[in-house]
Amino acid sequence: MSPPSADFRCDCSPPAGDDSESIDRNCSHCGGSNNPVLRTSSSAASLLSFDSVPVKYYDKRLRIIHAAIKGFTIGAGIKGGLALFSILARFRRRQSLSLVKKVGMATGGEDVILAVKETLRYGLFLGTYAGTFVSVDELIAAIGGHHRTARWRALLAGAIAGPSMLLTGLETEHTSLAIYILMRAAVLASRCGIKSKRFGRVCKPLTWAHGDILLMCLASSQILSAYILKQDSLPPSYKSFLNKHGGKAAVILRGVKELACGMPCTELEMVEKHYKTMGVDIKLDPQMKVPCSIIHGNQSCGGHFVSFIIEAYKRALPVYLPVYLIPALIVHRQGLAERPYTILGKGLFGTARSSLFLSVYCSSAWLWTCFCFRLLERCNIPMVAIATFPTGMALAIEKKSRRIEISLYCLARAIESFFTCMADIGYLPAQSKKLKRADVVVFSISTAIIMHCYAMERDVFRSKYLNVLDWVFGVPLPLDEATPRKGR
């Protein structure tokens, strides 16, 4: 619910029928330059009250229904869009493999059924979350008072709505999603800390201009090392993503892993056969110290980088089309009708730019490993971690506002992979593997923090995210109009 605020009148507004434009710019309702509420959103008056609806249009039940419907729309739209592109990619891949038509149709039908189920599940998940949050928010406000519960109501409502994640599947864990949301909550909390007089100095390092690139480098070191050395530590969907965009056959990865781990090179013959199917005749040395010939055959390291980046860009384009297309249809739905060429042009430019980032990221990963291996003339596990660290610098290609999102997304997966590796080698207690649905607990705590910041510290959000949240959850009653009379 994003209703107009033009009908809202505060005490300093001109009376009805008066065309005077003399409005007190210091008024906290009018939002003037001296507005203390806009300068410090920690005030209780900042509780979702800036663009609130006129009281006569305020309907609690309608707000709950709208939140549930819009939540379902976003969940189903995003998941459905990604599933559609995934199905199209699989269909194209099957055609290129010249599969039997009957088998292809049956497999395609199964993909569609699975995609529809996942779309509905994620729609129900976000729809239930939004509806539950708004319901609890309104219920607590009605029972405990709008003013008295203002500082903690959204925190509790966000925590209660968190278990809605179970609607995606009782046996389906979403550890990566939970950790990512936790990272988002940590970022918002740190922004609040930066504003605070008490914690401002402690949080100052978080204001570093290129901290997002540093996070990406740290995440890349773990993720790409796991991609080569221990893929089982990565979520299945993310492992599939890396295998596709990493651009290397499994046998090549196994060959590099054997060399890095100091194991006997048993895959060299299979690697040679793999290259022979590609028309490349190569003989690998079992006594090699660096795996460059395993990685790119008889190509030079520089030549491999150039050829790889071209192919990587073609693979990256279908990934980012829905990333930019779907938000354009949801967030900019009104502006799309007024200036379609501008919005679509920005979307296409963003798609091209992000695709370049992903292609450079993947191709530079192999370039950096070759460079470091050749420089030190060795290949071992620490060298793999060191060589994949600078890969994260490719993030500088991306738009500044997207860098933190991507780095946090990758950091969440890196953290999950790291702790999985630690548990597998015995550095973590065995009981840590037996924790059931810890993802739901982490998700609930994280969304509680996020919704509290949404209610009390709105200025720590970027405007585009704040607009989406306002559109989904609606804007509740302003604090100065806590108890509207029916029919008012």
Neighbours of 30 (CB within 10 A): 14
> Are residue 108 and residue 176 in the same domain, yes or no?
yes
Between 365 and 114, the higher pLDDT residue? 365
User: Are 52 and 479 a contacting pair, CB within 8 Å?
Assistant: no
> Which of 396, 416, 434 is the C-terminal boundary of a domain?
434
84 lies in the same domain as 177: yes
Q: Residue 61's pLDDT is what?
A: 84
Q: What is the per-residue pLDDT across 3-32, written as a single tens digit (0 to 9) for each?
A: 333 333 343 434 333 433 333 333 433 433
Q: Over the stretch 412-465, which tens digit does the pLDDT of each residue have?
A: 889 889 988 888 877 776 555 556 778 899 999 999 999 999 888 888 888 778
Whole-angstrom distance, CA of residue 327 vs CA of residue 319: 14
Q: Quote the pLDDT of residue 363.
A: 95
What does the alpha-carbon distance between residue 229 and residue 357 come to, in Å, rounded to a whole number? 24
Indicate if 418 and 309 belong to the same structural domain.
Answer: yes
DSSP designation for 229: H
Whether 235 is in a domain gets the answer yes
Residues 66 and 154 occupy one common structural domain = yes
Number of structural domains (the chain) is 2
Residue type, 326: I
Q: What is the pTM (predicted TM-score) of this model?
A: 0.68
- Flag whether 101 is in a domain: yes
Q: Is 374 exposed, middle or buried (0-12, 13-18, 19+ CB in 10 A)?
A: middle
Residue 304 has pLDDT above 90, yes or no: yes
Looking at the fold, whether 419 and 333 belong to one and the same domain comes out as yes
Mean pLDDT, all residues of the chain: 78
- Tell me which residue range forms the domain holding 373: 211-247+298-434
Please say whether the beta carbons of 414 and 223 come within 8 A: yes
Q: How confident is the model at residue 169 (pLDDT cuts 50, 70, 90)?
A: confident
If asked whether residues 190 and 216 sit together in one domain, one would say no
Whether residues 304 and 452 share a domain: the answer is: no
Whole-Å CA distances, 219 to 21, 224, 386, 390, 483: 54, 8, 12, 10, 49
Q: Answer yes or no: is pLDDT of 378 > 70.
A: yes
The model's pLDDT over 334-364, given as tens digits with 9 standing for 90+, comes to: 777 777 788 888 888 999 999 999 999 999 9
Q: Are residues 351 and 393 in the same domain?
A: yes
Report the largest interatomic distance among the alpha carbons of the chain, rounded to a whole angstrom: 91
Q: Is 59 helix (H, G, I), strand (E, B) or coil?
A: coil
Indicate whether 173 belongs to any domain. Answer: yes
Question: Do 229 and 350 lie in a common domain?
Answer: yes
Residue 304 lies in a domain: yes
